[in-house]
Amino acid sequence: MTELWSLPATAIAAMVRARQVSAVEVAQASLARMEAVNPAINAVVEARPEETLAAAAAVDAALAAGRDPGPLAGVPVTIKVNVDQAGYATTNGITAQKDLIAQAHNPVVESLLSAGAVCVGRTNTPAFSYRWFCNNLLHGHTYNPRRRDLTPGGSSGGAGSATAAGIGAIGHGTDIAGSIRYPAYACGIHGLRPSLGRVAAYNATGKDRTIGGQIMAVSGPLARTVDDLRLGLAAMARPDPRDPWWMPVPLTGAPVARRAALCLRPDGMQTAPELEQALIAAAERLRDAGWQVDEIDALPPIEEAVGIQLTLWFGDDYPGLVAAAEREGDPGALAALAGQRAFARSLGMAEFSAALSRRLGIAREWSLFMERYPVVLLPPCAELPFADDLDLRSPEDYTRVWRAQMTMIGLPVTGLPSLTLNTGLMADGTPLGIQIVAGKYREDVALAAAEAIEARQPPVTIATP
């Protein structure tokens, strides 16, 4: 018999709404799975089973009373520790915030819970959510359930690890430079970075975001099926007046030409042969689904966008970022900032202003390109998933990691939606994947292309650490 915890969110919600299974039974199964596998991966760092079961019972009570509990009825989800969830500490992986208890939900949490989702726990992130690796002094080390020696990714490493291991059907993540897409890739699942303004965000426990965060950071779902990404996005994309930049754009747009561009080595990226082959195979699957796929040599700027991203991040109170990291004493956070010291110290108001202006031009170039090609297939990273803590081994390895992550760092400058799609595992368990980009607010197009590829390959398996 199929275990309830292993079912996709779409199946769980349908079964709960049809009263074929209770939300409490689903929650009990999910909690049992967490108890079985979380000690080996430390993906969920705070759980309150009694609250989980009470939330599930409320879903069942709503159904018994003839009320609609929402599209995520009874679906177990996880929440990242860098967003406010009432009654929980918004730690962001740092000891200084271990007692920073939220009084109200972040809009994305409010949206998920209002849609009938049941939170089974909060997931780990690196200190300050800075890295593509996942450990900190407060919550400890999160491991990849596919291969313990590989990073689970970051900063939503806990979400990626938990979802891959069957702890929850949908994981909440955030992404400013790959923090949804890279953990999904590294853990062998799927992750969607929505368009800027699609999912409302606001943490009452902290200050408003700086410019870089305002124009590049988003929340989105991680899941084991494309349809679950779609369901998670629909639940998350609810309006909230606390986020003035939320945009009232329909989740489904006008029909577009089924035409895609395939770029194996954008801006000269030294893409691993295994990832090139994954892209070529994905393109063939898309062609089989009736899409035209053209292999091209060049895309609008990505490498240049990396410099824009870093300028808008480090050019805004870099000394303050360093001071906070020094107070925390987290090795990963300190290394992440130290590696950019010379660059950050070269920045002034002129460079910051120029970067903000150039960001508009880069976004325009991408917008025009997407008119011709509604979908772009490109590498998620130049390399296979990194060895765990590779960025801490040497200055050369730090540089190697940041260079390999060009498509993770650069694409958020455009404001476009992008997702990483798992395309299978190598013989040694190393995940493979591709990245898919679509036009602004056309997550539906990216999801349609991803779904066409997914339908022509083996399904994502659940990892047993």
pLDDT digits (tens, 9 = 90+) for 358-397: 999 999 999 999 999 999 999 999 999 999 999 999 999 9
Q: Is residue 38 part of a domain?
A: yes
Q: How far apart are CA 421 and CA 423, in angstroms?
A: 6
> Catalytic pick from 22, 30, 80, 195?
80
CB 93 within 8 A of CB 104: no
Residue-wise pLDDT tens digits, 18-32 = 999 999 999 999 999
Q: How far apart are CA 162 and CA 143, in angstroms?
A: 10
- Residue 451 exposed, middle or buried by CB count within 10 Å (0-12, 13-18, 19+): middle
Look up 98 and say whether it is catalytic.
Answer: no
Average pLDDT of the chain is: 98
pLDDT confidence of residue 145: 98
pLDDT above 80 (res 1) = no
CB 362 within 8 A of CB 301: yes
pLDDT confidence of residue 299: 98
Instruction: Give me the helix-helix angle, 9-17 and 49-64, nearest 10°.
Output: 50
Cα torsion for 398, 401, 405, 410, to the nearest 10°?
A: 10
pLDDT confidence of residue 368: 98
CB 154 within 8 A of CB 129: yes
pLDDT above 90 (res 2) = no
Q: Indicate left, alpha or beta for 65 from its phi (over 0: left) and psi (-120 to 50: alpha).
A: alpha
Q: Is residue 462 part of a domain?
A: no
Look up 207 and say whether it is catalytic.
Answer: no
- Residue 271 exposed, middle or buried by CB count within 10 Å (0-12, 13-18, 19+): buried
Q: How far apart are CA 438 and CA 436, in angstroms?
A: 7
Strand 44-46 versus strand 118-123 pairing type: antiparallel
Q: Is residue 465 part of a domain?
A: no
- Our count of domains for the chain comes to 1
- Rounded to whole angstroms, what are the CA distances from 114 to 53, 238, 264, 411? 16, 10, 41, 31
Q: Is residue 365 part of a domain?
A: yes
The mean pLDDT of 102-115, rounded to a whole number, is 98
> Catalytic pick from 179, 195, 219, 418?
179
Look up 80 and say whether it is catalytic.
Answer: yes
The mean pLDDT of 391-409, rounded to a whole number, is 98
Q: Is residue 325 part of a domain?
A: yes
**pLDDT above 70 covers what percent of the chain?**
100
pLDDT confidence of residue 340: 95
- ∠ at Cα 47 (191, 200), nearest 5°? 45
Q: Is residue 32 part of a domain?
A: yes
- Residue 51 exposed, middle or buried by CB count within 10 Å (0-12, 13-18, 19+): middle
The mean pLDDT of 165-175, rounded to a whole number, is 98
The mean pLDDT of 171-192, rounded to a whole number, is 98
Residue-wise pLDDT tens digits, 274-328 = 999 999 999 999 999 999 999 999 999 999 999 999 999 999 999 999 999 999 9
pLDDT above 90 (res 233) = yes
For the entire predicted model, the pTM comes to 0.98
Q: Output the domain CATH number for residue 174.
A: 3.90.1300.10
Q: Is residue 464 part of a domain?
A: no
Which residue has tokens 């606390």?
A: 242
- C-alpha distance across the termini of the chain, in Å: 21
Structural domain including 149 reads 4-454
> Catalytic pick from 30, 111, 129, 155?
155
Of residues 81, 128, 79, the one with CA closest to residue 108: 79
Q: Is residue 463 part of a domain?
A: no
